[in-house]
Amino acid sequence: MSDSLSHFALKSGDQFPSIGLGTWKIPDEVLPTLIPEAVSLGYSHFDCACDYGNEVAVGEGLKSAIANGTSRDDLWITSKLWNTFHHPDHVRAACERSLSDLGLDQLDLYLIHFPVTLAYVPFKERYPPGWFFDEEAENPAMKHVKVPYSDTWGAMEELVDAGLVKNIGVCNLGTAMIRDLLSYARIHPVVNQVEMHPYLTQQNLLRFCQENEIVTTAFSPFGASSYVPLSMAEDSERLFDDPDIQKIAEGYGKTVGQIALRWAVQRGTVAIPKTQTAAHLKENIEIFDFELSYSDMLAIDSMNRDRRFNDPAEFGEAAFNTFYPIFD
Ligand SMILES: NC(=O)c1ccc[n+]([C@@H]2O[C@H](COP(=O)([O-])OP(=O)(O)OC[C@H]3O[C@@H](n4cnc5c(N)ncnc54)[C@H](OP(=O)(O)O)[C@@H]3O)[C@@H](O)[C@H]2O)c1
């Protein structure tokens, strides 16, 4: 039993639950019952975002869980600042909108969703704003605006000062941008949330973050599964069908999903698997009663293919008519 891995200490002193439920693509009608069910199974951490368009429904689920007897203090709620709200004039309003939708007074963690700065879209025009500037235009596209990351970070720090959020962090940043951020941050970024799975291990980024007291959260911890239905991955790339990881799973009497999550947590990352399937919900939190051997950890590390599924350089052009690389 490795209970010591159930939480990771953040530089702020807070304890960050190492498994969270990802809420991207979970339909509104599912969340009000899924969230209390997750809490009853032992989940306390919920990963949300303005862009997922379902924070009101997440809020209903949180309200039920709290009505069932869970204390707000025992829950960890993360949300994210969308790309259209990076200008300091919009950061607080965006955070307050997520808080109001979620039915909360304070977030445990607020992240900048992407190092992507898009033109402001007012709430009354469209919420969530998504990627297009004007969906009705003849040739809809993303509209880039110039907002220095340092300006956005300053506004994020003010959210901590105002007590609206306990911790702030980033998503989808590489080492160079984090190094720059650390040169001016008054409040330390405690988390970098990035795509990470056995086919994209990002060893250098993980090590750099560890050396700088930034906890890495692994999104899409199952790799292709989330992206096949979006035509952003091939069926043949599914981790669940990989014979090498299947073999490791058989050896422990665990599922491939549990092996992927245990590997993530054992290498020191938080993982936020999404599921709306009851059996998966139960399975994905049951990873604290076994330990992967050193050689199996190395074997999974060596499955790396540097395969990134969530890449604006690809989907920006394919889905939003705009070439917008951020990782190259
Ligand atoms: N910061 C960012 O830019 C960013 C980007 C992407 C994602 N995220 C966050 O990360 C979360 C997780 O990533 P993700 O949603 O892309 O993908 P994921 O969690 O890696 O995979 C989800 C897929 O795996 C299936 N699944 C879940 N548990 C399973 C199990 N035990 N066995 C077999 N299949 C299983 C799900 O189907 P079922 O629902 O049927 O189980 C779904 O199809 C998101 O929900 C979101 O909160 C953040």
pLDDT at 175 over 90: yes
Query: pTM to 2 decimals?
Result: 0.98
Tokens of 58: 């997440």
DSSP annotation of 230 reads T
Ligand 1: residue whose CA is nearest its atom 3: 113
CA 185 to chain centroid: 21
Tell me if residue 165 falls in helix, strand or coil: strand
CA atoms 280, 284, 286, 292: torsion sign: positive
* pLDDT (average), residues 243-271: 98
| Residue-wise burial string across 80-107, b where 16 or more C-beta atoms lie within 10 A, e elsewhere | bbbbbbbbbebbbebbebbbebbbbeeb
Closest residue by Cα to atom 42, ligand 1, is 226
Residue 3 confidence (pLDDT): 75
Structural domain includes residue 81: yes
Q: How far is the CA of 272 from the centre of ligand 1 (A)?
A: 7
Distance of CA 163 to the CA centre of its chain: 22
Query: Catalytic residue among 43, 52, 120, 199, which?
Result: 52
pLDDT of residue 323 exceeding 50, the answer is: yes
Q: Any idea which residue has 């665990």 for tokens?
A: 254
C-beta of residue 219 within 8 angstroms of C-beta of residue 195: yes
The answer to whether residue 327 is domain-embedded is no
The answer to whether residue 325 is domain-embedded is no
Phi/psi at 32 (nearest 5 deg)? -60, -30
Residue 151 has pLDDT above 60, yes or no: yes
> Residue 110 catalytic?
no
In a domain, 221, yes or no: yes
Residue 16 has pLDDT above 80, yes or no: yes
- Closest by CA to 3, choosing from 46, 42, 47, is 42
Query: What's the mean pLDDT in 121-150?
Result: 97
- The pair of structure tokens assigned to 189 is 């970024």
Closest residue (by CA) to atom 39 of ligand 1?
A: 275
pLDDT tens across 271-281, in order? 999 999 999 99
Q: Do the domain assignments include residue 40?
A: yes
User: Average pLDDT of 310-320?
Assistant: 96
Question: How many A from CA of 221 to the centre of ligand 1?
Answer: 7
Task: Name the phi and psi angles at 253, rounded to 5.
Answer: 65, 35
Mean pLDDT check: name the lowest of 1-10, 14-23, 163-172, 216-225. Answer: 1-10
Q: Are 288 and 5 in contact (CB under 8 A)?
A: yes
* Ligand 1-lining residues (CB < 6 angstroms): 22-24, 47, 113, 171-172, 193, 219-222, 225-226, 240, 255, 257, 272-277, 280, 283-284, 310
Count of structural domains within the chain: 1
Give the domain range for residue 269.
3-320
The CATH number of the domain where 231 resides is what? 3.20.20.100
For the stretch 108-131, pLDDT in tens is: 999 999 999 999 999 999 999 999
Q: Calculate mean pLDDT across residues 182-188.
A: 98
Q: Is a pLDDT exceeding 90 seen at residue 1?
A: no
Task: Read off the DSSP letter of residue 142.
Answer: -
Residue nearest to atom 20 of ligand 1 (CA): 220
Q: Record the tokens describing residue 6, joined without a space.
A: 């159930």
